[in-house]
Structure 1
Amino acid sequence: MYNYGNALEYIAPPIFAPIVTIEYPIDNTTYIINVTALNYTTSGSSPQSCWYSLDSGATNNTLTCGNNVTGLVSVEGANTWIVYANESEGDIGSSSTTFYKDTLPPIINLTTPTNNTHTDVIQNFTATFVDGGGTDNATLYIYNSSDDLVFSQFNSFIGSPTSTELGIEYNLSIDDTYTWFYNATDIYDETGGSQIFTIIW
């Protein structure tokens, strides 16, 4: 309120956008479960309407201001969730969180030698490994036609890469039909196996 001579003029205090804070899921966190809840708080100006997005703002869903959201489904890999709130003058406040969901074991693709390869030279048994949280280790297994394990080798990956390639050389040397594959474990102890390839020496 200001005094201009004998006249008093009321100056309304400025109204700012509501302050939105997402409390769960936590930003830059990897979860090994399906994240189903979105918890948030608002402060400052009282919000008149609220809404949220589960796809970086591409689509929106309305919600009752002050109510958390449950029964959601997060996607494998990166998720960006946003909560918005606006006040009576239309000023919008928002908060976003980007988190990662990793409930699957590493994806393994055998590359060389190709399936049903005929060979008489040393082979580099190669595969690619992809995992949202990071692959911790992989093991190559080679079996002969009698289903005896003739070779295995464990490899630990430095830095637990999310995408990498591994090749292990081995000389089969004895005429036979062999099968080979990789198993891999990610940083959350989820283990998966590749397809099985055949190689004929």
Structure 2
Amino acid sequence: MLDLKQLTADVCRIATEAGCFLREERKGFRRESVVEKHAHDYVSYVDKESEIRLVKALSALLPEAGFIAEEGSATYKDEPYCWVIDPLDGTTNYIHDYAPYCVCIALRSRDELLLGVVYEVSRDECFYAWKGGKAFLNGTEIQASDVKDIKDAFLIVELPYNSEQYKLTALHLIDQLYGKVGGIRMNGSAAAAICYVASGRIDGWVEAFIGKWDYSAAA
């Protein structure tokens, strides 16, 4: 039986260490190191190195777990547990030195999510939760807002990089929400957006076309 509370504490440490790496690398980061995976979808040596570090640390923590990792440095082969990791959620933000950007780590069994940790680097904020427990930010319990009326809602409506597939959805959302809600923002990190909903900063978040690594830890 896994001790999920202790395991979550260990994962918080690992995520924070990866975040410190991202923070230090950002000081000397150069745009020339960026590669375009797809149109407007970027990756750099920082994403890849962060993922390698995470895989090594998490493998030592729980050797019987496989991986679903955005940059593909490790794989899942039907192990009883699976780490779902995004070494840098918000790469475009990171490239432009624009917050937020996060390290995201989730652990799941074959059936369900067991824990999630999201470390938002720019604000030094670690969001975390485990199955059967509550949700926390830097040791303090958090909860979602109690806004009931859509006209008061402060929302994040994201515009992902794959514009051709998403354009009609985006136009529909803006048409239905703009001027009818309390405010609309975009922040460039799905993980941060979900955590901001969990902590009551944001009342709702809408996005599609995202991978398991984008949302699992925050969910």
Q: Same fold (TM over 0.5)?
A: no
TM score, norm. by length of structure 1? 0.28
Give the number of the structure whose residues are more often strand, by fraction: 1
TM score, norm. by length of structure 2? 0.27
Higher Rg: 1
Give the number of the structure whose residues are more often helix, by fraction: 2
